[in-house]
Amino acid sequence: MKNTIKEQLFVIVIILAVTGCSGPDAFEGVPDHISDMENLTVYSSSDIADADTVRLIPEQLFRDTEENPITAFGSVVIDDFGRLLIGDRQQRAIHLFLQDGHYLGKIGGDGDGPGEFRWVGGLDIHNNRLYAHDPNGSKINIFDLGTDAQNLPEYESAIVIGSDRWENFPESGFENPGFHTVRSDGFILLTSRTSPILYREYPDSIGVRKYYQWSGDHNEEPESIFEIVEPKFIAYQWSIIPPPFATRGIMTTSEDDLIYSGDTGDFLIKTQDAEGDYQSAFFYPFEKRELTRTDAVKSVEQHGELQDAVSSMPIPDTWPAIQQIRADNTGRIWVLVHAETDEINRWFVLEESGNLLAKFELPGGMSIANIDGDQLYTRETDEETGLQQIVKYRIEFGDGL
């Protein structure tokens, strides 16, 4: 199957901003818990000026057909051939597309055998190999991506996440660990969070999510290097979930293994090295969107019992500042903030230093699936069919667009 975009070309205009770093005088008005930090750069709203424009030009559609259905779009990665790999949780498989949109085939399948999955979780690529997490099977399937783009990846091996030799991992009171990513040195980054049972026993408790580095050798126990705060969960009869307006810790890792983290309550991004040691931080003043009781209740409308709890519980005055952060393979940091309406996804694009390169908006139903150099991949819903699809855009910067 080959999908092209001919008459559907349209332009998404992005506001570009040239920013400058502010000095110590800009610390006035910054919360004390932030201004007291070492190696902190504080920016201000006046740092945004001289707007330029950029175009997102759609280049390719990646979507399923009746012959090759994708039933549940999951993680999306791009290999060195430019092929798109899409995890499919429901089929327990990974679909491959050539960069021209042609459907190549799928690997995996439901089961416990070599290269099979009980569930398809996160995907990552390292050293021309695909690492595909099976959280229900507690393993990472590894596929050789090969030397010919026309051939499907071949199963190579699996790494079981767990060992009888481990005495202190997973830690007491924590869930079984999962896969996060593969570092440039080949070490695997695992993650685990406080067990939800805690919130039933102690409703006011705040848990943590921890990250561990592991060589993949079962004789070596994973080593804890970093942690972030979990959101406050609400426990009710059938589930334990956090409301969307709860603040939480967030993190992402860069190509050179830096860790970027923050708390969604503020536009504050911290940089840690690969061992989790703090290096620096930058802060932007951000006017947060008001949170009304009506908004709070509506945000959990899929959960009737949870709506009852939100109707009477104390709620914050505002939504969090940040929703998500991610690092691309060119050193840029992408920050999704809470805009004034859910109909908008507003992104900030920054250098590693925190210097603002651009800010732009996407429609509320469009999310970023991946960024690969000057290519942006989005998850979108086809208006005619209602089915999800991946769209690749070329990012072009220039004057007078």
| Whole-number pLDDT of residue 44 | 80
| Whole-number pLDDT of residue 397 | 64
| Whole-number pLDDT of residue 343 | 93
For the chain, the average pLDDT equals: 88
Q: Side chain identity at 187, as an amino acid letter?
A: F
CB atoms within 10 A of CB 336: 18
All structural domains of the chain with their residue ranges: 64-160
What is the side-by-side strand order in the sheet with 103-108? 73-78, 84-88, 93-97, 103-108
| Whole-number pLDDT of residue 139 | 97
Q: Which two tokens stand for residue 349?
A: 């694009």
376-388: per-residue pLDDT in tens?
Answer: 999 998 888 888 8
109-145: per-residue pLDDT in tens?
Answer: 999 999 999 999 999 999 999 999 999 999 999 999 9
Nearest to 214 by CA among 178, 187, 253: 187
Residues constituting the chain: 401
What is the side-by-side strand order in the sheet with 49-62? 322-327, 333-337, 344-350, 356-363, 12-18, 49-62, 388-398, 375-381, 367-372
* Lowest-confidence region among 213-217, 276-280, 396-400: 396-400
**354 Cα distance to chain centroid:** 19
Average pLDDT over residues 235-251: 87
181-191: per-residue pLDDT in tens?
Answer: 999 999 999 99
Residues 6+ positions from 13 with CB-CB distance below 8 Å = 53, 54, 55, 401
Q: State the pTM of this model.
A: 0.91
**H-state helical runs in 255-366:** 293-298, 304-312
Q: Which two tokens stand for residue 385?
A: 């069919």
Q: Which two tokens stand for residue 6?
A: 């001919």
64-160: which CATH topology? Thrombin, subunit H (2.40.10)
| Whole-number pLDDT of residue 162 | 93
Residue 47 has pLDDT above 80, yes or no: no
Per-residue confidence at 48, pLDDT binned at 50, 70, 90? Answer: low
| Whole-number pLDDT of residue 20 | 39
